[in-house]
Amino acid sequence: MNTTIYFRDKNLIPIWDKIQNGKRISLEDGLTMFASQDLISIGKMANSVQQMKSGDAVYYVVNQKIEPTNICVLSCKFCDFAVKQGAPEAYEMTIEEILSKLNSDVHEVHITGGLHPDWPWEYYLGMVRDIKQHFPQVDVKAFTAVEIDFFHKKFKMSIEEVLRQLYSVGLRTMPGGGAEVFSERVRKLLFNQKIGAKTWFDVHQTAHRLGIPSNATLLYGHIETYEERVMHMVKLREAQDETHGFLSFIPLAFQPGDTGIKPKNDFTSAIEDLKTIAISRLMLDNFPHIKAYWVMLTEEVASVALNFGADDMDGTVGGEKIAHDAGAISPMTMAKDKLIKIINDAGKIPVERDVYYNALNVNTEKVVGKIPYLNSVPFYEHFEQRQFKLLPIAPRRMGQLSIKGQIDAGLFSLMDYFSQQNELQLMNYCIATRDQVKSVMLFSKEGWQGLQGKKIGIIDDTATSIRLLQVLLEKKYGVKAQFVRMHSGVNDYSPFDAVLLIGDQALKANKTGLTGYDLVFDLAKEWYDWKKLPFVFAVWAHKLSLPKETAVELHEIIQHSLEKGENTLDTIGTIHGASILLTPSETTEFLEGFNFRLGEREKEAITIFKKLIEEVEVIS
């Protein structure tokens, strides 16, 4: 993290020193930042952290908000949306009406609403089931912790059983609503009928254990104190340390409307919004994404927030009513093209995503793919972007974007290079192991021979490691197994006899162990013991259509960055390594186990592996 910041507020310097050294900042640090008038420096710190996590990417989704009813058994002071049964403005949507709101362009449906006193459990299951049957491309993100707790009590099922049944019909992620602010003082004053922090965390932690990732929110700008605001973030950070199941954090600016709640100002100021987003990015070091929810912030503030630590604009949000019933002043729907323009104007990469933050489309030019794992740090730590923009993206997803012509260059998975080598120019750089790798690991309940016919869960990120595993099983051990792709984010491993993890997730699990899987196999070591050759997992390549002068500049950038990286292997990965529980010496030892240049032995290994994969069944 090489950003130089000239602080007007010297109290921020110790906080920046902590961040640069990979140390976690404290509750007191958060309060120091909220007390500071040096907004620009706070924003620069947050932007630097966001760049490390997301590069130049800013995510958006084509989504539809569904609020099936505004009838609710609760009466929360801050809510202008809910009404009682029989009220003139009350409404109830049929499943057919819900389906009529969707179309083939939508990738995410976001369902939240009132707690209806009379609807049966089958209505909710049928809603999710019918959405998936009619629109299989749509990911269902549905029901806040408040709603899940309501179902648990009303239908006399455990929280786990409620979530299992919803998952079985198509629920894939959960929104973060209902958190408001984790303060008993505020809860008793504003929403004493609603669940508190303990129940909210119980619901989300249960979801994560079952393989359902979720978001988390903060409703700020009403009667909460700064300490309550920061403590909210600390509690979320602690929960994420335990489950790793939160996808994004969404600060929601309070919309007073006709609630009767009188904050200091009718609406939070742009300065307060930007400061809250930036501090969120700095406090929540283990959250992948911070959202600038334009519906509540306005387009203008959300655009600026993209340089204050936010990396997600949410989406088109057709059908949103709750915030607008409370007086939100943003337009009700933002078209996809307008979102793309806002992100491009901020100097970022507009990335259309799915509900798990997998990239579906990239809407800009001169994009260089960046594998976001520790083993790639030597290439990217000193990467001078110049005319290029960096997109951190998992290997398999990079290959999919390249097929669409949306990636100009990158460190491609070897399998993706094989499938696209007529369109790609190979460069002289790679990720190759000498013997063991420690970051492509099979965690198993069985030895190799015992995996015959067994079910193996495969991390979604991999394009090459899955084929290496197949080759080892079939050609080295004479075994055929079933491969099942897992989704991005948290997963329930219980259905699998073995699990293949790669990258940082594998490194972390290799150190801490994976509960229930006593046998651990390093696939690179298995290959080396068999073939006495390195294994090449990824190679640098660029589009053949890249202009010659652009390609030459890219070569220069990579060569310069790698030379500097190789000379500082003892320091460049320290912050990244700390995030996955590695000590500085463990990080250095790991990086020293790679070759980053294509030599003759690496080329020989590529040739042999290509021949082997041609002899086994094609898998996706």
Is the confidence at residue 65, as pLDDT, over 80?
yes
Residue 610 lies in a domain: no
Structure tokens at 279: 């501090």
Which of 531, 562, 588 is the last residue in one of the domains?
Answer: 531
Query: Is the residue at 617 inside a domain?
Result: no
Question: Do 423 and 561 belong to one domain?
Answer: yes
253 and 354, same structural domain?
yes
pLDDT at 72: 87
Identify the CATH number of the domain in which residue 469 sits: 3.40.190.10
pLDDT at 327: 43
pLDDT at 232 over 70: yes
Question: Is residue 35 located within the same domain as residue 164?
Answer: yes
Distance from CA of residue 103 to its chain's centroid? 25
What is the pLDDT at residue 334? 57
Cα dihedral 385→391→394→396 (10° resolution): -100
Last residue of a domain, one of 513, 531, 549: 531
| Mean pLDDT in residue range 148-177 | 97
Query: How far is Cα 32 from Cα 28, in angstroms, rounded to an integer?
Result: 6
- Write the CB contacts of 377 (distance below 8 Å, at least 6 apart in sequence): 565, 572, 573, 576, 591
**Alpha-carbon gap, residue 109 to 318, rounded angstroms:** 10
**616 inside domain:** no
**How much is the pLDDT for 245?**
97
Decide if pLDDT at 78 tops 80: no
CA 111, CA 473: separation in Å to the nearest integer?
43
Residues 401 and 508 in one domain: no
Q: What is the mean pLDDT of residues 11-29?
A: 96
412 & 283 share domain: no
pLDDT tens digits for 119-143?
999 999 999 999 999 999 999 999 9
This prediction has a pTM of 0.92
Judge if 261 and 370 occupy the same domain.
no
Q: Are residues 416 and 309 in the same domain?
A: no
The residue-averaged pLDDT of 16-36 equals 96
Residue pair 137/102 in contact by the 8 Å Cβ criterion: no
Are 150 and 200 within 8 A, CB to CB?
no
296 and 404 housed in the same domain? no
Question: Is residue 611 one of the residues assigned to a domain?
Answer: no
pLDDT value of residue 261: 55
Q: pLDDT tens-digit profile of 445-486?
A: 999 999 999 999 999 999 999 999 999 999 999 999 999 999
CB-CB contact of 444 with 451 (8 Å): yes
Tokens, residue 297: 């912030």
The tokens for 108 are 């995410």
For strand 289-290 and strand 246-253, is the pairing parallel, antiparallel, or unpaired?
parallel
Terminal-residue alpha carbon distance, the chain: 37
Tens of pLDDT along 523-533? 999 999 999 99
Closest by CA position to 237, among listed 421, 24, 435, 393: 24
pLDDT higher than 90, residue 85: no
Domain assignment present for 604:
no
Is 525 within the bounds of a domain?
A: yes
> Domain tally for the chain?
3
Indicate whether 100 and 228 sit together in one domain: yes
Query: What pLDDT does 171 receive?
Result: 97
Which residues are 217's β-sheet partners?
250
> For the chain, what is the mean pLDDT?
92
52 and 107 both lie in a single domain: yes
In this structure, the answer to whether residues 492 and 428 fall within a common structural domain is: no
Residue 114 maps to which CATH number?
A: 3.20.20.70
Name the nearest CA neighbour of 374 among 582, 527, 606, 522. Answer: 582
Give the pLDDT of residue 319: 43
C-alpha span between 192 and 187 (Å, rounded): 5
For residue 71, what are the β-bridge partners? 83
pLDDT the model gives residue 328: 40
Q: Does residue 608 belong to any structural domain of this protein?
A: no
Rounded CA-CA distance 504/519 in Å is 19
Provide the pLDDT confidence category of residue 330 given band limits of 50, 70 and 90.
very low
- Taking the C-alpha atoms of residue 368 and residue 380, their distance in angstroms, rounded to an integer, is 11
Residue 397 inside a domain? The answer is yes
Share of the chain above pLDDT 90, in %: 80
pLDDT of residue 351: 97
* pLDDT of amino acid 329: 40
pLDDT tens, 332-345? 455 788 889 889 98
Do 513 and 380 share a domain, yes or no? no
Domain interval for residue 139: 10-16+25-361
Smallest CA-to-CA distance from 457 within 492, 483, 491 is with 483
- The phi-psi region of residue 611 (left if phi > 0; otherwise alpha if psi is between -120 and 50; otherwise beta) is alpha
At 446, list the tokens: 């069985």
Residue 174 has pLDDT above 90, yes or no: yes
Q: Which residues face 250 on adjacent strands? A: 217
Angle (nearest 5°) at CA 58 between 53 and 63: 125
Mean pLDDT over 98-112 rounds to: 92
- Interval 549-562 mean pLDDT: 97
Q: Are strands 312-315 and 57-61 parallel, antiparallel or unpaired?
A: parallel
Q: Cβ–Cβ contacts within 10 Å for residue 262, how many?
A: 10
Task: Give the phi and the psi of residue 110 in degrees, each rounded to 5.
Answer: -115, 110
Whose tokens are 């337009």? That residue is 331
**How far out from the chain centre does Cα 344 lie?**
21
Q: Which residue, 482, 516, 531, sits at the end of a domain? A: 531
